[in-house]
Chain A
Amino acid sequence: MAKRIELNVDGKAHTIDADPDMPLLYALRDDLGLRNPKFGCGLAQCGACTVLIDGQPVRSCSMPVDAIGKGKITTMGGLVQNGKPHKVQEAFIAEQVPQCGYCMNGWVMTTVALLEKTPKPTDAQIEEALTGLKCRCATHASIMRAVRRAATA
């Protein structure tokens, strides 16, 4: 029942043999050995597993690996280009956002997608884009500062 599946992750082509129903998260973590997306809930409720597929934030814990087709997958680590972090990562570093840091994939990847669409978001637009993401350490104040900083970078 395993199937040969091709994935494009962070600009590299990969081929894996996997159960087509397996969520993308396990292909990234287990088959490809990437450490960025995290398992938080497996229910698409928290965002810790978020990656971009063709620029759109997707909860990889609930996306079957066989459903991605030719979509280009970007992980948080893959945002770093030629050794330079993405401006969203730089802003989150400058604001020292993460406490435990386990949820950060969700906030960062969703912010990247937000700023692509809305480069200068209002606070209300930021909240609208980020609602539903969980941060148990409750670093919401730092997150808002970082998103505002990224938007002005």
Chain B
Amino acid sequence: MNTHLNRRHFLATGGALTISVLMPGEMARAAVAGLDKRPPLDPKKLASYISIRADGSAIAYFGKMDMGQGTDTGVAQMVAEELDLPAEKVIILAGDSGTSLNQGGASGSTGVSHGGATLRNAAAEARYVMLEIASKQLNVPMEDLVTANGVISSKNDASKKMTYAEVVGGKWFDTEVEWNGKIGNDLSMKTRAKLKDPKDYKVYGTSAPRRDVEYKMLGTDDFVVDIKVPGMLHARTIMPPRAGAVPVKVDEASIKDIPGAKVVFEKALLGVVAPKEWDAIKAANQLKVTWSDVPAPFPDQKDLFTHIRNAKVLKAGGSPKNGEAAKVEEAFKGADKVIEATYEWPFQSHASMGPACAVVDYQPNGITTLWTGSQKPHFAGDGVAKILGLKPEQVRGIWVAGPGSYGRNDAGDAAVYAALFSKATGKPVRYQGMRHEGSGWDPKSPASIHTIRAGIKDGKVVAWHFHSKAFDRLNVSSNESDPSDNLGAQAVGFQAKPGLTYGTPEESYAFPVKHQTWEVIPPFLEVMNPLRSSHLRDPLGPEIHFANEGFIDEVAFALGQDPVAFRLATATDARDKDVLKAAADKAGWKPHTAATKTKKGDVMTGMGIAYAQRNGTRVAIVAEVDVNVKTGKVHARKFTVAHDCGVVINPRLLTQGIEGNICQGLSRALHEEVNFSKDNVTSVDWLTYPILDITERPHEIDVVLINRQNIPPNGAGEGSMRPVVAAVGNAIFDATGVRLRRGPFTAERLKAGMA
């Protein structure tokens, strides 16, 4: 069965496609309405979540989407499990505000834990409704009915049976459900049915295949960059050479030789459009612009961490519980000695595989359509409505696979640019950034300093304080429903609304007194800032835990203890201890109380461990590295990962998602640092912002999945990203005795450290 409904067909027929796919059969049922028309999306209606097709297969309408890790497959398995259908009989229609409720888009690894759980409830309710109908039709009490492979039958008389197709196939459920009143990640509905007992799971734990692989490998369906609308123009933006400058004079005659090229110039928004893409690119390069003279916005990059250290604090937070701050200081006073270390982490870029793209067809008197690679098409549609002065229901946001997305990247900017250019030209507009925009102007993961102190008394930690001072975690909101977060909106006068927030480590270490605090500093520029900060896969996780887990190693060694033994003695959560033990055992951990510094020729080898929680998921990682003492180059040869995200729905896709996180995390650990001059970001392509090369791949990634059959699934999209940097840093220390407290771990830093 082809579970990938062709998106273009879908668009072409609008809402009608669902009808043609779901053409109802002849049987009318009391509880099923809508023979010819899908009821409007309403979170209080079961039909908004799920339907049964005429052939008995199911469609679940997913208000999130899969960014390539197989989330939709996992959700299909959850729905299939409750419906007693095979996974391939469940189609997921995702990420389209015209067909699904706003479940928050891809967000914080909640695709399965939140979005999937809601559709699982809908599936259970759908089954319940079908049992009610079948009970009347077959004249069998509901409690005597069983379901298997889309067939409802009497457990006492196998001849009494109906298929799902016969019960409701092709018609819309007319069932009211109890909605919790929320939209976004927390949107949820209750079911009257009892969810399946985990001991009866048949579809969970199987490795159903992904649905998007074939078209991506054969080139048989569109990415967002491939969307074409009749009459469409291509647009490009022109960014200031010095961040903060605005265009003051534009010489339109400078592009008059380019066919059909036109300038769009409104306040600080400067773009060009042309019917042909190459002409738009040429025009953007050729256009003569005079920029305003503004002071250089950034400090010398070598002073970045001094800047953070000295910057004023806009907001502080964390966990100074009642009187705890005073108690911590009291405990430090009573300590025999205090160990302190400071860890530093640079800005990092999403640097998605391609610069973001969006297509907007502005229709002021009809429905405006946004095609976007954004993780949050519903919210992005709301944002486009606001920038265009339309009502939210006048914009349909449709997600189409984009050029990679790991959080709040440049996709939001692309949507707003395309909207502004479409309105300005009165034509549908496809906007895609250039590479220097994808790397140079995307929202960055915020640079940070983490200072940790441990007070030691009688060989034990008696006081602990973890403190971060950093740029704003959400200078740019990850939500996208407010256009003011986007460069284009800021260019036409919208003011940024910084979130002013940060985070703290997630682990279960217990110390007599423990304190975790943060401070957020102002951005370098209020608007149009190429170093504005936002969420990048596992927001703050890699750097916070680099510091926390690096320092745990430092304390263990200071106390003459083995890093694994110290963690097991200090962590209090049983599942945390289980992942630590599993990773250490599988990796063949050899206890040690100082750097082992094993050397063979020019290569020193070492092993390091780190662990973290993430919203209920626990991951421990052992990294094994080779460090070349001559070149300073690090090769992370092997990773052993123990992963507990509750029940495992699809072991193969989970494993592949973990492998991706390990390699992306390794890339961030070894290479990634956004460089900038006083004028602008200078990491603008793959030479100036290198990422992991295949020659640097780990030769082995050994994944141990701890399957907790009775614990609902937690997010698995990001948890394994979290301890990678720390594990690599700790392994480098074990190999060389050099404690790197500033990332990334470049060959230059290693060489300097070993000198």
User: A134: CB under 8 A from chain B?
Assistant: yes
A 1-45 to B, binary, CB cutoff 8 A, 1 in contact else 0: 100000000000000001100110010011001111011111101
Stretch from B265-273, B309-317, B402-410 forming part of the interface with A: B402-410
User: B23: CB under 8 A from chain A?
Assistant: no
In the complex, the 4 A-B pairs of residues with the closest C-beta atoms, listed nearest first: A99-B68, A101-B216, A138-B663, A77-B219
A74 to chain B, nearest CB (A): 12
Q: Is the CB of A39 within 8 A of B432?
A: yes
Contacts of B223 in A (CB 8 A): 35, 38, 101-102
User: A112: CB under 8 A from chain B?
Assistant: no
Q: Can you list 9 A-B pairs with a CB-CB distance of less than 8 A?
A: A18-B278, A39-B355, A102-B403, A131-B693, A137-B68, A138-B691, A139-B660, A140-B697, A141-B663
Q: Is the CB of B693 within 8 A of A98?
A: no
Bound-state CA distance A85–B213 (Å) is: 13
User: A50: CB under 8 A from chain B?
Assistant: no
User: A115: CB under 8 A from chain B?
Assistant: no
Q: Is the CB of A136 within 8 A of B353?
A: yes
B 655-675 to A, binary, CB cutoff 8 A, 1 in contact else 0: 010011111101100000000
Q: Is the CB of B697 within 8 A of A132?
A: no
Contacts of A48 in B (CB 8 A): 353-354, 403
Q: Is the CB of A139 within 8 A of B354?
A: no
A152 to chain B, nearest CB (A): 18
Q: Is the CB of A101 within 8 A of B401?
A: yes
Q: Is the CB of B69 within 8 A of A99?
A: yes
Bound-state CA distance A133–B352 (Å) is: 14
User: B574: CB under 8 A from chain A?
Assistant: no
Bound-state CA distance A151–B422 (Å) is: 48
User: B685: CB under 8 A from chain A?
Assistant: yes
Interface size on A, residues (CB 8 A): 57
Q: Is the CB of B67 within 8 A of A42?
A: no
User: B218: CB under 8 A from chain A?
Assistant: yes
User: A73: CB under 8 A from chain B?
Assistant: no
User: B130: CB under 8 A from chain A?
Assistant: no
A109 to chain B, nearest CB (A): 11
Bound-state CA distance A133–B128 (Å) is: 51
Q: Is the CB of A137 within 8 A of B216?
A: no
Contacts of B435 in A (CB 8 A): 40-43, 45
Secondary structure class of chain A's binding surface, majority of residues: loop
User: A80: CB under 8 A from chain B?
Assistant: yes
Residues of B within 8 A of A (CB): 67-70, 209-210, 212-214, 216-223, 225-226, 228, 257, 276-279, 281-282, 351-355, 401-406, 432, 434-435, 652-653, 656, 659-664, 666-667, 685-687, 691-695, 697-698, 701
Q: Is the CB of B278 within 8 A of A19?
A: yes
Name which residue of chain A comes closest to B354, CB basis: A40
Residues of A within 8 A of B (CB): 1, 18-19, 22-23, 26, 29-30, 33-36, 38-43, 45-46, 48, 75-77, 80, 85, 89, 92-93, 96-104, 108, 126-128, 130-144
What number of A-B contacts does a CB cutoff of 8 Å give?
A: 176
Bound-state CA distance A140–B666 (Å) is: 12
Contacts of B226 in A (CB 8 A): 29, 35
Q: Is the CB of A143 within 8 A of B276?
A: no
Bound-state CA distance A36–B402 (Å) is: 13
Contacts of B212 in A (CB 8 A): 98, 101
Q: Is the CB of A89 within 8 A of B663?
A: no
A26-B278, A142-B656 given; A33·B228 CB < 8 A: yes
Bound-state CA distance A38–B351 (Å) is: 15
A39-B225, A103-B353 given; A137·B218 CB < 8 A: no
Contact of B216 among A45, A98, A128 (CB under 8 A): A98
B220, B222, B652 pick with most chain A CB within 10 angstroms: B220
Contacts of A22 in B (CB 8 A): 278
Q: Is the CB of B405 within 8 A of A45?
A: no
A141 to chain B, nearest CB (A): 4
Contact of B404 among A26, A132, A136 (CB under 8 A): A136
Contacts of A39 in B (CB 8 A): 225, 354-355, 432
Contacts of A18 in B (CB 8 A): 278
B696 to chain A, nearest CB (A): 9
Contacts of A36 in B (CB 8 A): 219
User: What 8 new A-B contacts, CB under 8 Å, besides A93-B213, A103-B353?
Assistant: A19-B282, A39-B355, A99-B404, A100-B401, A101-B68, A102-B404, A134-B691, A138-B664
Contacts of A76 in B (CB 8 A): 217-219
Q: Is the CB of B217 within 8 A of A92?
A: yes
Q: Is the CB of A135 within 8 A of B353?
A: yes
Q: Is the CB of B217 within 8 A of A85?
A: yes
Q: Is the CB of A104 within 8 A of B354?
A: no
